[in-house]
Structure 1
């Protein structure tokens, strides 16, 4: 490793921007061109030629209509329970979504709002702030990507093309429900984070760095907050800062009082955060310098102060609570009385979380409860208030697993609603009239997810499972507690949406998406690569779940080239009994066995399982993935001479760690958008698992650069978006330079203008084609 890279993360971060462009050019010159196919057609081209014979190609995989069928998303009940609304991709372009409604009384469905018609055929124009916000929320596609019902159920609010629209549904006619659309804004700026006020009198949104409110009766627009003129871009109002959006999943920076009287908002001072020059290479070859305030691990965070203001902009004042250099504001929620707000304040080391009650008029602060942990405290979206605010539902891991509790506000006593060595996976929904609490959990098995309910009065033994078919469920209950919308899939069942009774009886399908002869995937069913599930033991005896996709022509006793599809990082679960149609299916169809394994450190298995990575990443995860590989070799499935690995983001990091720590085990590795040096990643994520870099030496063993001597020639394909604002392209640039210094040959592909997700139909087709050719060259199937 060159001496330049031995400095701390802050210095490295400042220099990376100046070096990466030159390093990329050097890498392109020094490395062989991305592999030419062997004599004859490439694997991807061969697949294309056989499409007529039912062979699934990469081009067809990414094209429209979606091979997974007419799936719907963002399914919600109207407040009056009359309609179920959802977003649905167009038949000619599944990435463009329109707003639809299903009338529960008549059973008819119809399109409420057509995105392309509203845009008049023009392309969407979004601000960089909104593009980044969607990237943080992992929102893909275009058109209508989000919407919200008004509290009275009379209208819906949605953003489109940077402006806001208000839709009023009409009574169902002969073809189903219809609607009229009113445009609320028409500006050159992008309005983001739009909301109805709780009483429905106002619509609020953020424009640039300030909060605005529209009075729906008069149509008057008010600028509620004002950024100081001399802030030079460092101050933002009512918008969540970077780490809140990316790591805390707090996507908003303002909160309405239940009675519409006031708004609490965050004033974010980003001046303590170092401004770094991030370089974006565009598709036209231009290079843009983007000044981004990015809090590298161990450096200063933004300062967040909570303020309160009236909808007309009056009475703006400090609330007296916020985050300093030693804490974060994780969540804010009003209590039902509109006089107090709850604030989840988390310590910088994330081992302590206080739930505070703040009296808005007096500023008096009371601690309702405190959560602590030896490793870290996970954040959730509770509290959910019940009994007119006298109690709330809370998720706690004090038993070792996330479970639901009912907390009395006055006495702070906690009563358990659920009990077991399994995880509650969602915030609870409450049917107070019926006396039930609904939630999603993995109580039956970690590889399935179901919707359950328990009595609102603590009685954990009376828990009932609402959803029945084995698989992966995500559900919600209607406002009156009568119905449940169940979004469900299984390995042999594409995503479908059903309407159930509260007891789990199916009433109707909203989207059956049956795998019949007319389904888009029907021509490819005969050669579909099925998936198997199993468990192995980690070195400490912990059960690890895996999935294995075998070629359709699999024969026992024959060894196959094998690819480990890895993520391996915290907060994510890869092994699930759900529908999956992705690059792994392509690999299996080409003759590869594909294994995914949730190693220790992965999500939804409790504190001890997740905490295995505390203070050192890349140790337990690597050991568990190698144990999975050993299992396949011992079972006579994997050919030990033809083993590959691929992953994205943390999976890209894991790919590098496996190639470097166990070079004799792998013939090829595809690493996409990897973290390579944890001092170059952000504070909240990195310090949660590794602590502050100045406090201990856990960073060096967790970084790829400790293991550079393990990399071998022609084993690595490195891929990165050249406008990535999450895992900076600098991570790969640093690795490029280090590998060049060691004269290690590797393949490299950069995608101009692409962020962390490297999105786009043509782009994804190109990426997967290159990836397939890479694996075919390094570990060809068919021997």
Structure 2
């Protein structure tokens, strides 16, 4: 890559810049004639969003800033770059193509990447600084390398098997990884040895079980103590977990995998936790089963719980474990003596009942921090919104101080500067839930602290900090500005760009600025009066003409689709084809509080369908919308929503696209499904009402089903069940299946194929722009 095309600023140059916002996109849009975006260009390289750095980190001494940067000629391949903050220079630290072997990853690593949502990436996808700041541990093509700042690269492993979950110990003395279901440890530069036994195909050490990876955002199964004295290691036995025979049907053959997949209502893996020395000696089992409340845990099966989170105290003298009951309505925080494994409950959290009617669940979070003095910063939805609290002392954490309060949601604990007494967090704006900002507050203030907003209005922000909470790394974007990443001080003042990504004449998106259309936002009311936010992008409207609508939806818990961040070029490509883009966040979506999310509890496929229907009915009132040409499209939960919407309201929509849908919730995994709908044994009626199979024959509108034939998340049986039901009833539909693809069907060639298929389907069914 040429240096001039990187558009990076040196520290000195960055400091000379004013801190004003980027010029509006419309002002930067010059006299160039509009160019229509094609799906082929949307997914080609270089990416139209501009450079997209990942895994931005600071070296332990703060001198170097490192980042994974994708290539201009291959948007999915990442190399490791370093910025010397003293010299003000960028340099490539590790070239993934030059160093990589091209060796195929093991099936275990492929599946881990799928569950971490990075299965499409190539090259370097993660790395870790050494404690002394002289180098970084780099996993690449299934092996491990130690890259020194001097330019030397030492290969640490060279095996056919992949080294999973690689990590340096806290002090950097040891390198560790999982290979062949065992945890391996060795001093840096020496050969690693397994420190856990090999116990057969169904027992794994040092890994996270399937539901932890897929649904709990816990991707590791071992944790080093701060002083390198101990390592806590998960052991799980999945011999009791049911097997789904997954046929990874490819273009030139089929591989059959017997995948342990815990479907709703079935047994989970048995999870245990041990503490041991770096050589595997002095192993003790952590008591995870004591003091289980009979009101929340399964008295007949004390192993029927979830290991949610594991953390060491800053001084390494205690281990803290978050234990969640199977129903996900209760959580215990256990304090563990690492020398004996004995545990005691020091904090308990119950699902919020505030404004929630019949019940709620605990949303797992990483928004907590154990301070050096033993205090705990803790995130909870107990008052109906996600907020931060400070528990005093570590001997039970009984008393607490409230840190944030209001009708907004704290979405991330960004960092804590314990020396200066400042805490930093990310939250939705109380005035506008479609924006997120970085805030700080004084931890040592007497009485309630006043939060200070550190970021500019008009943007969506994300942020992270160094371990000491001294430097902010902020990414911002808006409808008119692709993501920009910069370093800021504790007051939010920008010190240097990590990636300015300015929409200038050299930007990949520059040829399409002239046709870039603005986004409009608004609200409509749900049937109970709740405001529902929507977003809309229209082509340049001509008087008297009516336009078709591409109505995108997700609908399930978790994502917030409607926000004021950059939404990429795909939306504009659809608008360029003459369609109106429309999306609406129904009740059940995230970042609006408990009362907004709770209505789907034990009622999936109900309130979401009604809310999306309200969006369609609103569209039909607009004089520039063709009421007979509203098409819906969704993926995963959104694919499920497409089926339920077409079944509930025949004739309301002109056509529907159902991508990788869950069709019967008994086929989906325990942790996700049971959180919202209970078990098939205890809540059979809820499962029956939520299923997309019984009413499959009620679909009368054109339907296109899309599914990857090697999907290990929403297994292919979900598609075959609804396909079979419609075929047996002689109900017409269309389908597009992708051999060899999992739940993520994406790539430079395959993504355009998918979207061209969608729009050919719409055209064939008359959902077309006006002449």
Same fold (TM over 0.5): yes
Q: Residue 190 of structure 2: which of 195, 219, 231 is its match?
A: 219
Aligned partners of 2:650, 2:557: CA distance in 1, in Å? 24
For residue 516 of structure 1, report the CA deviation from its aligned partner. Answer: 1.2
Task: Give the alignment of 1:55-70 within 5 angstroms.
Answer: 55-70=36-51
| Structure 2 unpaired stretches of 5+ | 1-31, 290-300, 352-358
From 355, 373, 390, the equivalent of 2:333 is: 355
SS at match of 1:220: coil
Q: CA RMSD in A?
A: 1.7
Q: Summarize the alignment of residues 563-574 of structure 1 with structure 2, pairs less than 5 Å apart.
A: 563-574=550-561
- State the alpha-carbon separation in 2 of the partners of residues 556 and 110 from structure 1: 54
Partner residue, 1:136:
115
Partner secondary structure for residue 664 of structure 1:
coil
Which has the larger displacement, 599-608 or 471-480?
A: 471-480
Matches for 1:663-678 after TM superposition, within 5 Å? 663-678=650-665
Tell me how far apart the structure 2 counterparts of residues 479 and 769 of structure 1 sit (CA, whole Å).
Answer: 46
Match for residue 234 of structure 1? 202
Q: Could you tell me how far 1:482 is from its partner in structure 2?
A: 4.3
CA distance in 1, matches of 2:420, 2:449: 18
User: How many Å apart are 1:710 and its aligned residue?
Assistant: 2.2
Cα deviation code 1:521-566 (max 9, x no counterpart): 1111111232211112111111211111111x12466421112100
Q: Contact between 1:300 and 1:325, CA under 8 Å: does it hold in 2?
A: no
Measured at CA, do residues 443 and 54 of structure 1 come closer, stay the same or move farther in structure 2, by a change above 3 Å? closer
Partner residue of 1:244?
A: 212
In 1, the alpha carbon distance for the partners of 2:433 and 2:313 equals 34
Select between 159-168 and 576-585 the one with higher mean Cα deviation. Answer: 576-585
Alignment of 1:540-559 (within 5 A): 540-551=528-539, 553-555=540-542, 558-559=545-546
Contact 1:478 1:484 in 2 (8 A): yes
User: Which range is displaced more, 101-110 or 295-304?
Assistant: 101-110
Q: Does 1:491 align with 2:479?
A: yes
Q: Structure 1 pair 518/771, CA: closer, same or farther in 2 (3 Å)?
A: same
Task: Work out the CA distance in 1 between the residues paired with 2:133 and 2:690.
Answer: 51
Separation in structure 2 between the aligned mates of residue 754 and residue 349 of structure 1, nearest angstrom: 32
Cα 1:557/1:484, change in 2 over 3 Å: farther
Change (3 A) 1:782 1:557: closer
Note the alpha carbon deviations across 1:41-88, whole angstroms, 9 max, x for none: xxxxxxxxxx99721111111110111112212111222111211111
3-state SS of paired residue (1:754): coil
CA contact (8 A) 2:305 2:323 kept: yes
> Which secondary structure does the structure 2 equivalent of 1:146 belong to?
coil
Q: Distance in 1 between matches of 2:478 and 2:88?
A: 25
Counterpart of 2:366 in structure 1 is 381
In the TM superposition, residue 152 of structure 1 has moved relative to its aligned partner by: 2.7
Q: 1:601-680 residue pairs with structure 2 within 5 A?
A: 601-680=588-667
Within the alignment, does 1:191 sit opposite 2:163 as a pair? yes
Q: 1:692 to 1:479 in 2, by over 3 A?
A: closer
Taking a change above 3 Å as real, the CA distance of residues 486 and 192 of structure 1, as seen in their structure-2 partners, is same
Say whether the 8 Å CA contact 1:276–1:292 is kept in structure 2. yes
Does residue 1:420 correspond to 2:406, yes or no? Answer: yes
Structure 1 residues 637 and 227: alpha-carbon distance in aligned structure 2, compared to 1, 3 A threshold: farther
Q: Which runs of 5+ in 1 are unaligned?
A: 1-50, 171-178
Equivalent residue number for residue 406 of structure 1: 390
Structure-2 separation of matches of 1:335 and 1:499: 29
Residue 464 of structure 2 contacts residue 472 of structure 2 at CA under 8 Å; is this kept in 1?
A: yes
Alignment length (residue pairs): 715
Asked if 1:473 corresponds to 2:461, the answer is: yes
**How far apart are 1:318 and its partner, in Å?**
1.8
- What does residue 274 of structure 2 align with? 307
Pick aligned residue for 1:93 from 71, 74, 80: 74
Whole-Å separation in 2 of the counterparts to 1:506 and 1:117: 34
The structure that is helix-richer by fraction is 1
In the TM superposition, residue 181 of structure 1 has moved relative to its aligned partner by 1.6
Asked if 1 retains the 8 angstrom alpha-carbon contact of 2:416 and 2:468, the reply is no
Aligned-partner Cα distance in 1 for 2:324–2:434: 30
Shift of 1:586: 2.0
Residue by residue over 1:261-318, the C-alpha shift from the partner in whole angstroms, topping out at 9 and shown as x without a partner, is 111111101011012211111121x122110111010011100011112111212232
Aligned mate of 1:750, from 737, 757, 761? 737
Aligned residue in 2 for 1:5: none
Distance 2:43 2:340 in 1: 56
Report if the CA contact (8 A) 2:176-2:192 is conserved: no
Instruction: Determine if contact 1:195/1:205 at 8 Å carries over to the other structure.
Output: yes
With 725-734 and 181-190 compared, the bigger mean Cα shift is at 181-190
Q: Secondary structure at the match of 1:644?
A: strand
**Aligned pair 1:181/2:153, yes or no?**
yes
Residue-by-residue CA offset, 1:681-701 (whole Å, 9 max, x unaligned): 000000000011111210111
Task: Check conservation: 1:80, 1:479, Cα contact below 8 A.
Answer: no
Q: CA deviation at 1:494?
A: 0.9
* Other structure's SS at 2:697 match: helix
User: 3-state DSSP class of the match of 2:707?
Assistant: strand
Query: Match of 2:283?
Result: 316
Query: Counterpart of 2:186 in 1: which secondary structure?
Result: strand
| Aligned counterpart, 1:37 | none
Stretches (4+) displaced over 6 A: none
